[in-house]
Amino acid sequence: MFSSNRSSSCQQDGDGSSRLDRWGILLSGACAVHCIAGLALVGMLGLGVPWLLAPEIHEYGLVAAIVIGLATIGIGVLRHRQWLPLVLGGVGLALMAAAVVGPHGMIEAVLTVGGVAILAWGHWLNMRACQTHC
């Protein structure tokens, strides 16, 4: 009886977590597109679009990534006990944080795109683990 109650409870929460993981993947993709588009517009085309490269955008994006990542991957790990999504999420967030505090340019883009790709991978693995084990 206890296992069936836990299973149904986890399934209900897993659906919400799965939605947040999807949002995390979507936001990671949007962040990568923003970064590449910003470099292309400013670097290749010489268009100075100050709001596109404003530091606040990157800081808010990092805060959103941390909140969504902790909420979904952290709770997911407590349920399914698989640590790889959390490790990947942490590495991705660390790369993104390094990009925010570092100089603008190609290094920032590489750190950001690498970080969001690894974070999205962590969200994807977390989603799969929640569907399998919860």
- 88 contacts: CB under 8 Å, gap ≥ 6: 118, 119, 121, 122, 125
In angstroms, the CA 59 to CA 47 distance is 22
* CA 55 to chain centroid: 18
The whole-number pLDDT of residue 50 equals: 64
SS3 string, 49-91, reads: CCCCCCHHHHHHHHHHHHHHHHHHHHHHHHHHCCCHHHHHHHH
CATH number at residue 107: 1.20.120
Taking only the tens place, the pLDDT of each residue in 26-52 is 888 888 887 777 777 776 666 666 666
Domain containing residue 74: 2-133
| Count of structural domains, the chain | 1
Taking only the tens place, the pLDDT of each residue in 66-91 is 999 888 999 999 999 999 999 999 99
Q: Read off the pTM.
A: 0.76
